[in-house]
Amino acid sequence: MLTAGQMSDIASAVDLITDLPEGAMLLADKGYDANVLRTVVTDRKAWANIPPKVNRKDPICFSPFLYKARNLIERFFNKAKQFRRIATRYDKLAENYLAALKLVSIRIWLRGNESTP
């Protein structure tokens, strides 16, 4: 889902997890630490592994070991932002931006699958 740059991360989070399967684990950063999101994930019989914000009053269950898998996602976004068209969002239409992001994703995937002699 493409949102405005000034929109908070959590504003569209509930819409993004509508297809979250039962038993899945949601990995997200501290920007998604909210009781509302955690409740929605729990209602879907899934588990939210989100690090707590520093101002959280009630303790939550969080696994730093499982959270390390999120590193793959962060590395992908860092690689995608190396492409100027993605980083600066030249495209005004969401469809064009998504198409460019798909092309960049394919290129990143192909570079990762190159075999070296």
Domain that holds residue 114: 81-117
Q: CA of 87: how far to CAs of 3, 43, 79, 80, 93, in Å?
A: 15, 35, 10, 8, 15
Q: What is the pLDDT of residues 103-116, one digit of tens each?
A: 999 999 998 765 54
CB 49 within 8 A of CB 62: yes
Same domain, 41 and 1: yes
Same domain, 22 and 51: yes
Question: Does residue 73 lie in a domain region?
Answer: no
Q: What is the pLDDT of residues 25-80, one digit of tens each?
A: 999 888 889 899 999 999 999 999 999 988 888 888 888 898 888 888 889 989 99
Domain count, the chain: 2
pLDDT value at position 87?
87
pLDDT at 7 over 80: no
Question: What's the average model confidence in pLDDT over 2-17?
Answer: 75
pLDDT value at position 116?
46
pTM above 0.85, yes or no: no
Question: Does residue 23 lie in a domain region?
Answer: yes
